[in-house]
Amino acid sequence: MGEFADARTLEAILDKFKVDKIGLCPGGSREAKTTYIQPKIRENFLTTNPKILFLSNKFLRRKASGLMDREFGNNLVHELQRKLPKRVLQYYLVNFFDPDFYTKLLKRYREWHFQGLKLHQCIVPFKNDGKAFRLLSEFAAEKGLPIFIHVYSAREAKKLVQTALQYPETNYILAHFMGLEETIRIAPKIKNIYFDTSTYYIVSEKRIRKAIKFFGAEHVIMGSDSPFGINNLERIIKKIRALKISSEEQATILGGAITQLLKLT
């Protein structure tokens, strides 16, 4: 969305903050391509509370009807990747509402060879132990694609962890650290779940350090949720560099983990 929907502007942003590559997901409707409202939110004890974050998903789901033009969004991200092939990594948004989603997924993968899959349980409700999600997990394992997912609730987080244990060859990236505590309680030694740091006012330094403690920095991936927030990319980079962790751990979070996960080298 916004400045991230224009190739020239996007490239200028990446150059400014010395970002080599960026993973992009569809983020809005046709009308939101160039204009949108940036939330003016500061980090506090409410925004970083895992229970409050899950509660906010209920309000998001109420507003999600018609929020995302999925075909338009996937085509837009692909067009950005075509224009910036060395910078943009495409995550394909899967629409379980479509009864032919799997056929379209196969077709698009043959055409585009995208680098990851995106799911958003607030916008497209589904079950993390359901048939469709299991089918997608099998596809992701076969193609070596991570599933980047915005989990709806603590209950769904627990289901995801159980499914991840059943599909050890599939890698799952949990957006906004939603599900971190459930993962620690159920499977503190799991190897195929990763955590995304977006956005800076949601994910606290305390929870980032907790993730590193239980899973290692190689399971923490920098995410910004840009452009949903003011200066998200700049602020999350600063936040990670300010963490009291080793320079090697910082480098891993800032790019090493996703480079290894996507086999970019």
pLDDT score of 67: 57
- Please give the helix or strand (H or E) that residue 220 lies within, else none: strand 220-221
138-149 residues labelled b (16+ CB within 10 A) or e (exposed): ebbbeeebbbbb
Q: In the predicted model, what is the mean pLDDT of the chain? A: 93
What band does 187 get if pLDDT is binned at 50, 70 and 90?
A: very high
Q: Does residue 30 register a pLDDT over 90?
A: no
**Contact (CB, 8 A) for 147 and 126:** no
Strands (E), 74-187: 88-93, 116-120, 147-150, 172-174
The model's pTM is 0.96
Lowest mean pLDDT among 56-60, 161-165, 169-173, 231-235: 56-60
The token duo for 150 is 């915005």
- The string of DSSP letters for 157-209 reads HHHHHHHHHH-TTS-EEEGGGTTHHHHHHH-TT-SSEEEE---TTTS-HHHHH
| Predicted confidence (pLDDT) at residue 66 exceeds the cutoff of 80 | no
Q: Is the pLDDT of residue 33 over 60?
A: no
Residue-range domain boundaries for the chain: 2-27+44-261
| Mean pLDDT value of segment 220-231 | 93
* pLDDT at position 61: 82
- Report whether 202 contacts 57 (CB < 8 A): no
- Tell me which of 56 and 33 has the higher pLDDT: 56
Q: What are phi and psi of 194, to 5 degrees?
A: -125, 165
Q: Tell me 37's DSSP state.
A: P
pLDDT at position 79, please? 96
- For residue 48, give both structure tokens: 């970083």
Q: Is the pLDDT of residue 68 over 80?
A: no
Mean pLDDT of 162-185: 98
Integer Cα distance of 7 and 18 in angstroms: 16
pLDDT band at 190 (very low <50, low <70, confident <90, very high): very high
pLDDT digits (tens, 9 = 90+) for 125-153: 999 999 999 999 999 999 999 999 999 99
Pick the range with the lowest mean pLDDT from 14-18, 97-101, 180-184. 97-101
Distances 126 to 59, 107, 110, 169, 212 between C-alpha atoms, Å: 17, 22, 25, 21, 29
pLDDT 10s digits, 230-251: 899 999 999 999 999 999 999 9
Fold held by 2-27+44-261: TIM Barrel (3.20.20)
Position 32 confidence tier, pLDDT thresholds 50, 70, 90: low
